[in-house]
Amino acid sequence: MRIHSDYLTVQTKQKREFINITANVRDAAEKSGIRDGLILISSLHGNSAVFINDEEAGLLQDIDEWANKIAPFSDQYHHSPRSESNAGAHLQSLLLNHQTFVSVADGKIELGPWQHVMYAELDGMRPKRVLIKVMGE
């Protein structure tokens, strides 16, 4: 088995953003030369997420509102109450997940017609890293 790793640095202009990183995943698959395998896409931060879904503005707004209903931003959490105010972002990362997988066949990523790999910044405006690890033959 061969393994190829890429790292993507994301810095958002807003505290919360959804960014389509499908092209970055596709580029990593092509650079790897791997024809058949899997790609792990993993946020290396506890207050962001990576998921696969449709990149449609209304759906992204629904996801944002859903996550905020379940784990709203609040100073009522136990997570470092004097120094941190991002416990809601950490909990939302658990809801949306910090990593996902994409299949590779014939050297190309396999996604459905409306699927995209999305990075969710939940507490942003500073550099964050995403691991894109291609594994296979």
Question: Domain extents for the chain?
Answer: 2-73+84-136
What pLDDT tens digit does each residue of the chain (137 aa) get? 999 999 999 999 999 999 999 999 999 999 999 999 999 999 999 999 999 999 999 999 999 999 999 999 887 888 876 666 789 999 999 999 999 999 999 999 999 999 999 999 999 899 999 999 999 99
Q: Which residues are 100's β-sheet partners?
A: 41
> What residues are paired with 38 via a beta bridge?
103, 135
For 43, 46, 69, 90, the CA distances from 27, given in Å and listed in that order, are 17, 25, 35, 29
Burial class (CB in 10 A: 0-12, 13-18, 19+), 118: buried
Evaluate whether the domain defined by 2-73+84-136 bears CATH number 1.25.40.10. Answer: no
Q: What gap in Å lies between CA 137 and CA 88, rounded to an integer?
A: 40
Q: Reduced to 3 DSSP states, what percent helix, strand and coil does the chain have, rounded to the nearest 5?
A: 25, 40, 35
